[in-house]
Structure 1
C-alpha cells in the first residue's frame, strides 16, 4: 500500500481551469445530501489541469472535474472525476477525504507562466480522458486569496475539508476535447464560459493537524 502524508497537504504549482454551465439533468451523480447550485436549470461545472511542483508535499499531475454544490445553504465543491499519476496521491485522496482518484498517464508541455501555451493530454490504459490547450491573455494584478470547502462521500457519510489558496491569475483562452468514450464525465458543450490560469499557487488542503493532548499531572 503506498504511503502518503497526513493532512493537511501543503501544495504549490500551476492550475489551468475552465468553467461551463451544464444542464442539471446531465450532471454526474453527486454525494447524498448535497445539491447542485443551479441557475435556470443549469449548474456550474469545472475542469482543471494541475501540476503540483516546487515545495509541494507530493509532486504529481492531475486532471479533474467538479461541480458547485450546496450542503443546505452552505456552498461547497464536489469532485466527481479525478485522475493523478501518483499512487500515494491516489491513496491519500481516497482514504483521507473520499476524493475518487484514479491513475492515468499525462503528457503536458508548455508553461504559461513563462509565456508558452499549455498542451495537455491524460490517458488511461483503455482510452484518452481529455486533451486541452491553454493560452494566456490578460494577467490580473496581485495575488488572489481563495478559500472554499470540498464535500465528498467517505465511509457512508459526508466529509467536508477546507481548502485555502493564494495565486497570481490570468484570463486565458482554452480549448478542450473529451472523446465520446472518455471516463471523465463532464457534459460540456462548446467553448468554456471562463478559463483561468493560476500561476505559482500555494494551497493547503485538509484540516490542520491536531495537537496531542497534554498529559495530566
Structure 2
C-alpha cells in the first residue's frame, strides 16, 4: 500500500460520482495505491492494482476507486456490476526482486497504461492487526452508493519504489514517491453489503 499526496495540477481528471469531490489536505490530494495478491482462500484468486482517491460528499468522507486493473474477468465483471468499480484487465507478475530477503517485484502490463513496476523492500513489522473502515463512493446505474469497505492485516513499514510508464495512465506518479508505504500480511478485505437487502435506500 502506498499513500501519496498529489498537487491539483497533476491529478488526472477522473470521472467522479455526482456530488463527490476530491478531498484536499494542505492544497494537495491524498490517494492510495494497492498492489494486491488475493489468495485462493478468498472469494476469487487474482491480482490487482487499485488507485483510490480520498473524497468527500457533503459532510461525509471516504474514497472512490478511480483506476483499477485485475487479471480476472470475473473480478472485472463483478466489480463493475455490483459496485461501479472501473476495473480493467491487465497482466501481472509477482516475483522476488533480489537484494534483501523478502523483497518483491510487482509488475502490471495493460493497454493505455504500459508497464507499471513496484518494488517492496521489507521493513519493521508493527504490533497487532491494522483495522481500516471506510466507504467507497461509487456510481451504479446513475445512483451513488456509499459501499462499506473493511480491511485488516498485520502491517509492516516498507520501503517502496513505484515506476509507471511516463506515457501511461499512472505516469503522473512517476515524479514523486509515496509519503508512506506498508505491507499487510494475512489480510482480510471485505467490500460491499452483507446481503442485497442491506443495500441502502439512503444513497451517498
Q: TM-score, normalised by structure 2?
A: 0.87
SS, match of residue 25 in structure 1? helix
Backbone CA RMSD of aligned residues: 1.9
1:132 aligns with 118
150, 153, 165: which is aligned to 2:136?
150
SS, match of residue 107 in structure 1? strand
Unmatched segments (≥5 aa) in structure 1 = 1-16, 212-217
CA distance in 2, matches of 1:210, 1:101: 21
Higher relative contact order (CA 8 A, sep 6+): 1
CA distance in 1, matches of 2:111, 2:195: 37
Unmatched segments (≥5 aa) in structure 2 = 198-204
Q: TM-score, normalised by structure 1?
A: 0.82
Structure 1 contact 65–184 (Cα < 8 Å) conserved: no
Displacement of 1:210: 4.6
5, 24, 28: which is aligned to 1:38?
24
2:200 aligns with none
Which structure: larger Rg? 1
Displacement of 1:125: 4.8
1:20 aligns with 2:4: yes
SS, match of residue 19 in structure 2? coil
51, 57, 60: which is aligned to 1:65?
51
